[in-house]
Amino acid sequence: MISPKEKNDDFREPVIQGHPPSTSRLLLNLLGCLLSIPIYYFSTVHSRYPVTLDIVITIALTELNRYIVEGRRQDFARSQQIQSHGRHSFDEKEEWSSLHLETQPSAPSAECMAAVVGWREDPSLYARALESYKSARTCTFFLAGIDGDEKEDQDMVNVFCQVFPENSAVIQIPEPLGEVAERIRAKAMTLQRQNGLPINEDEANAAAMQACLDLARTILRQHNLTIGGPKSIRHLCLNQRHMHKKGIMFTAYVFALVISDILGIEFLWSSDSDTIVFPDSLEKTINTIASDPKAGGASSGLVVHNSRETAVTSLASAVYWGELYLTRSTPACTGTSDCQSGPSTAFRLSALPAILVPWYMQIAFGKRMIVNEDRHLTTNLLLRGWNVVFASDVLAATDTPTTMARWLRQQVRWARATHIESLLRPKVYLVSHPLLFYGMVKREFGPAIGAFAVTWFFFTGHQLIEISLMDFVFRILISTTYNFVRNTHRLNMGDLKWIIPGVFFYYIPLPAVQIYSMLTMAADGWGTSMRASGDMERAKKESKRKAWFDLGFFVVWMGIVAGVLAKVIVIHWELVWHEKMVCITVSMGVAMWGAWRVTIRAPA
């Protein structure tokens, strides 16, 4: 039996620090990035069916990714068979020494520990999420992180204790480890400065990381917890003072590193408190990277488990099924997936020590970033030469916003994080495959060009880009047919009616979301409704003002879209000038009023 008391106190950061490319590879990546721009330009502007061509390319890359992922699993299965055969041969040859056995390479294993973080989650949903891990294969240790230690946060602790009544423990963290890391890092840099040494952030980060690991080990020892062995705990709940998701993730990951070092576990599954996993979610995601020492992370596909709650969740479920499954696959076939989705992510634990402190301390536009935790973790892995895989044929079930206002806020928040990681970290394209850059160009500038073209037509009546209705029809038919044939998520008959509306639900706001999120990249916060306190009237006014700031762009955009459609109709009907103005004005007014009703006026 191994316990924190019996384990060496010195946690040493693994030697593996990533796999930086050679100089020749850097030059090839740069050349590939430069060629991506004209390729994308000619495939869109100078193509008669650019949208159809884009979906065909995307499907081809998705299939290539599926093929590569399956190859990774076969490599993992072969390594398991070879190791099993080696053990059998060793049993038959007693003359082999135990020393020789220790020198043999160990087979990769898909065993992992899971870390699930959250804040004031709905108790029933949280219970469902925790229960799902009881049947999750290869999960040998479960770690829950709760961002809050007040009376309202006790509900989540109670749920944890009810779901895991045996072999479990709860620890109150006296100080968030992120604050410890920040303080140690600042002290190390101050000492460097006082001693006349150049500032070395890597050394300061390593010192902060080591201090947090030592503190986590000390906390486990103080609580006299046994980890490893027949009577050890297998479920641990951590709660700390409320900060933000990034804060509780940092604490949970540090404890995961210490516990995994004790148990000899190589992988960590990370998820949210509203995500439900299936029995094979962890196993099939991790075995895509288990046999590849260059793979630092992976993520699975997602479905929506509350799809029948409202019309918005049904539409969102159709978006996850028909759009996100494909778009996330574009760069993934080269091991450069640029976003490990927070609800369904796996890490090689040896990749984490070098990136956790830089990730936690991220600064953009002169301020600390707390809302792009999943994308920035992925960026840090890619920058250090790790491959990141997308297992598109594996699923986990996540929660989605139930109202249009919350859905748009979520989309804007995700888009801001995407812009920060895509546009402010150009070095990642130099060290990664050019397909990552191509995917970024398509994702970042495609919707922006669309927004500009629509606005241009609205004000001038001239088409900047020739648009073919049949192009969109072909695109919808091809993508829908492909998803029916190949998407792992099989739709029920009742879901079919949401497919076409889901396309419009996603793509009509997309250009506006893209432009507005670019213009407000420096805005922080989660975009949720404020908690009224003090003067209720003042709080109500501030809340309304915030709603206009968060969602006013959508009201304006829907007016422009309606104006464009009205302009196309009046041109086709050849109406006179005053009839044109009445038709356009009425259309814009009705559209803006409807957008206001479902976003700003509606409860958030």
pLDDT for res 524? 65
Residue 389 scores a pLDDT above 80? yes
Confidence of residue 92 (pLDDT cuts 50, 70, 90): very low
Residue 21 scores a pLDDT above 90? no
Residue 549 scores a pLDDT above 80? yes
Please give the Cα distance from 273 to 122 (Å, whole number).
9
Query: Taking the mean position of all CA atoms in its chain, how far away is CA 129?
Result: 18
Classify residue 599 as left (phi > 0), alpha (psi -120 to 50) or beta.
alpha
Please check whether residue 178 is in contact with residue 201, taking contact to mean a CB–CB distance below 8 angstroms.
no
Please give the Cα distance from 554 to 534 (Å, whole number).
30
pLDDT for res 147? 93
Residue 132 scores a pLDDT above 50? yes
Neighbouring C-alpha atoms within 13 Å toward the C-beta of 173: 30
> Could you tell me the end-to-end alpha-carbon distance of the chain, in angstroms, rounded to an integer?
51
pLDDT for res 6? 46
Please give the Cα distance from 445 to 510 (Å, whole number).
12
Residue 253 scores a pLDDT above 80? yes
pLDDT for res 474? 92
Collect contacts of 289-292 with beta carbons under 8 A, ≥24 apart.
289/72, 289/346, 289/348, 289/387, 289/389, 290/76, 290/108, 290/109, 290/110, 290/266, 291/72, 291/75, 291/76, 291/78, 291/79, 291/108, 292/72, 292/75, 292/387
Closest to 68 (Cα-Cα) out of 345, 278, 336, 406:
336
With tokens 């196993």, the residue in question is 283
Please give the Cα distance from 47 to 55 (Å, whole number).
13
Confidence of residue 530 (pLDDT cuts 50, 70, 90): very low
Tell me the per-residue pLDDT of 149-194, one tens digit each, with 9 for 90 and over. Answer: 888 889 999 999 999 999 999 999 999 999 999 999 999 989 888 8
Mean pLDDT value across residues 52-80? 91
Of 250-254, 489-493, 496-500, which range is least confident? Answer: 489-493
Residue spans of alpha helices (H) in 48-176:
50-92, 98-103, 123-132, 154-163
Closest to 53 (Cα-Cα) out of 340, 475, 602, 453:
475
pLDDT for res 90? 42
Tell me the per-residue pLDDT of 72-89, one tens digit each, with 9 for 90 and over. Answer: 999 998 888 877 665 555
Of 36-50, 454-468, 534-548, which range is least confident? Answer: 534-548
- Is the pTM of the predicted complex or chain greater than 0.85? yes
pLDDT for res 329? 82
pLDDT for res 540? 53
Mean predicted lDDT score pLDDT of the chain: 85
Tell me the per-residue pLDDT of 230-242, one tens digit each, with 9 for 90 and over. Answer: 788 999 999 999 9
Highest mean pLDDT among 223-227, 522-526, 569-573: 223-227
